[in-house]
Structure 1
Amino acid sequence: MKETGPLQNGNRILLADNLQALRELASESVELIYVDPPFNTGRVQSRPQLRTIRDEKGDRTGFGGRRYRTERVTGERAGTGYADQFDDFLGFLRPRMEEAYRILSPAGSLFFHIDYREVHYCKVMLDEIFSVEGGHRGRDCFQNEIIWAYDYGARAKKRWPAKHDNLLWYTKDPKRYTFNLDECDRIPYMAPGLVGEEKAARGKTPTDVWWHTIVSPTGKEKTGYATQKPLGILERIVKVHTNPGETVLDFFAGSGTAGEAAAKNGRHFLLIDASEDAVRVMKRRLAAYLPSKI
């Protein structure tokens, strides 16, 4: 297991096989685990990097009416990617999620991020894992299925386009867990005229359907990592389901969004990924929260 730097303020990035790394972590030592594993789509996941070049005949307009064209970056600076296909997806996930259950603190929460193709199989697996100890049924430890809905990208022509991901929220104890709803961001009412000016101005807390755009391929938040998730989604989870000073673990860490959400809000992070590309992205993104090179 290769660590990118010494422990500082509880923040670490590990370049490692996550199963091996998880087995070395202490039991009941982490308050929030967020995982965004491969979705088993059968495709190579990649997000190409784009650059803009001044061109009066270009395809987009910038500041002052100047025209630019976009080009796809190739070679070393191209976006990262990976093959998202498993012969035995649950066989791959199960030992890792069993370790996650062991590591989760008594009042801790697990957020498991997946899509419609595998969510039903994964929920049955997690129900079984969360039934292992404590006399609780896994189904009782299941708190919510949150739908993250977005509206971006191509439209299917032969079926309803899939524009959502699924987040399964489990707690180690079905009755004892952190849920700081007052810390949650507020969102606009869909029909503000029905609730009055005061409520409309204050907004409301979200339900189990979260409308949030994806990371824009040309936005400031982008890192170039293929499956980067929006910071707003992870900040909502971190602020509501942990307290300041607690630790957030993501062992499919990818671009490190969970780490940034934790650090920005006074939490510690432990990020694990087996990809050197992912670790390179995370080290650059989270440099302000990690030790300086000596």
Structure 2
Amino acid sequence: MTGLPAPSAPPTWRADGANLVVHADNAEYLATLPDAAFTMIYVDPPFNTGRAQRRQQTTMVRAVDGAGDRVGFKGLSYSTVKGMLASYDDAFEDYWDFLVPRLAEAWRLLADDGTLYLHLDYREVHYAKVMLDVLFGRDCFLNEIIWAYDYGARAKRRWPAKHDNILVYVKNPSAYYFNSDEVDREPYMAPGLVTAEKAALGKLPTDVWWHTIVSPTGREKTGYPTQKPEGLLRRAVAASSRKDDWVLDFFAGSGTLGAVAGKLGRRFVCVDRNPQAIEVMRERLAPWT
């Protein structure tokens, strides 16, 4: 998949406009979007698995109250917490200088009833929880979702790591949208312990989601290396947005959020700077763009 040009002037988003696949640097493009435009934002950034990132910071963290450093729980500022965490891990600062400004933009772009889903793994999630407590406010933490799967190599000297973490934060803990009636239900693990009616209906998922990876031979497979399964994002989109609401993914990769949003009647913006991702998304999301 080659031959795509470098990013040109990205399209302008309009509330009454079309779904968008945007080839751009997300830090630059997010700054062009208006406040409170999205009901749900899903972020699946690089996981920092190499533990050494060297990225230049392109934007400054914006203070939520409009002035000075963002003050979070117990009066701790962003810079104070950042310094404390960096003292424990010398790879921390480079990665989070890259990611935190984008998460601050996510806060700005969320509607008052909006929700952020931040998808990471065990290497970074503990740092992310502290940082989001500062950026959003500790009372805005809603859930930590564990996506459990079963594939890949088997470690023999430790417990094999077979899950990702998804941190869920809301813009306003008194006003966020969540509709469990729209979420797919699961079989009871012990159906004999509930009534036949309940067993037939199934139960709502908990904060542990058992879901297989994208099948290498399935119709959903695009060939993009970090593709996430549609079933995983369907729960988040169904619960945290309504029909015709706008949803955003600014590390969009293969465009799974856009595909799910299109099928569920939501409107979407998918942003990525990788030409291969744009090529995959333009084909995959053609029915809705």
Aligning the two structures, in what range does the TM-score lie when normalised by the shorter sequence?
0.7 to 0.9
Question: Which secondary structure does the structure 2 equivalent of 1:99 belong to?
Answer: helix
Q: What aligned pairs does 1:249-264 form with structure 2 within 5 A after superposition?
A: 249-264=248-263
Question: For residue 32 of structure 2, what is the aligned residue in structure 1?
Answer: 24
Question: For residue 128 of structure 1, what is the aligned residue in structure 2?
Answer: 134
Question: For residue 105 of structure 1, what is the aligned residue in structure 2?
Answer: 111
Distance 1:173 1:278, change over 3 A: same
Structure 2 unaligned blocks of 5 or more: 1-6, 52-90
Question: Which secondary structure does the structure 1 equivalent of 2:270 belong to?
Answer: strand
TM superposition score normalised by structure 2? 0.80
* Separation (CA, whole Å) in 1 of partners of 2:33 and 2:195: 51
Question: Which secondary structure does the structure 2 equivalent of 1:92 belong to?
Answer: helix
Question: For residue 229 of structure 1, what is the aligned residue in structure 2?
Answer: 228
Question: For residue 95 of structure 1, what is the aligned residue in structure 2?
Answer: 101
Structure 1 unaligned blocks of 5 or more: 44-84, 131-137
Contact 1:40/1:86 (<8 A) preserved? no
* Separation (CA, whole Å) in 2 of partners of 1:33 and 1:2: 24
Which runs of at least 4 in structure 1 moved beyond 4 Å after TM superposition? 3-9
Query: Is 1:37 matched up with 2:37?
Result: no
1:10 CA displacement: 3.0
Q: What aligned pairs does 1:197-208 form with structure 2 within 5 A after superposition?
A: 197-208=196-207
Distance 1:257 1:3, change over 3 A: farther
Q: What aligned pairs does 1:1-20 form with structure 2 within 5 A after superposition?
A: 2=8, 9-20=17-28
TM superposition score normalised by structure 1? 0.79
Question: For residue 169 of structure 2, what is the aligned residue in structure 1?
Answer: 170
Give the alignment partner of residue 117 of structure 1, picking from 120, 123, 129. 123
Question: Which secondary structure does the structure 2 equivalent of 1:143 belong to?
Answer: strand
* Separation (CA, whole Å) in 2 of partners of 1:217 and 1:40: 24
* Separation (CA, whole Å) in 2 of partners of 1:5 and 1:281: 18
* Separation (CA, whole Å) in 2 of partners of 1:32 and 1:15: 20
Contact 2:44/2:119 (<8 A) preserved? yes
1:196 CA displacement: 2.5
Question: For residue 147 of structure 1, what is the aligned residue in structure 2?
Answer: 146
Q: Where is the strand percentage greater, Structure 1 or Structure 2?
A: 1
AA aligned opposite 2:134: E
* Separation (CA, whole Å) in 2 of partners of 1:213 and 1:222: 13
1:210 CA displacement: 0.5
Contact 1:34/1:111 (<8 A) preserved? yes
Question: Which secondary structure does the structure 2 equivalent of 1:277 belong to?
Answer: helix
Cα RMSD, aligned residues only: 1.8
* Separation (CA, whole Å) in 2 of partners of 1:6 and 1:95: 21
Bigger mean CA offset, 241-250 vs 86-95: 86-95
Distance 1:245 1:90, change over 3 A: same
* Separation (CA, whole Å) in 1 of partners of 2:285 and 2:107: 27
Distance 1:86 1:144, change over 3 A: closer
Q: Deviations over 1:199-221 (max 9, x none)?
A: 11110000000110010122111
Aligned residues: 242
Question: For residue 241 of structure 2, what is the aligned residue in structure 1?
Answer: 242
Contact 1:152/1:163 (<8 A) preserved? yes
Contact 2:145/2:167 (<8 A) preserved? yes
* Separation (CA, whole Å) in 2 of partners of 1:194 and 1:4: 55
Contact 1:6/1:12 (<8 A) preserved? no
* Separation (CA, whole Å) in 1 of partners of 2:18 and 2:180: 25
Contact 1:180/1:241 (<8 A) preserved? yes
Question: Which secondary structure does the structure 2 equivalent of 1:32 belong to?
Answer: strand
Question: Which secondary structure does the structure 2 equivalent of 1:2 belong to?
Answer: coil
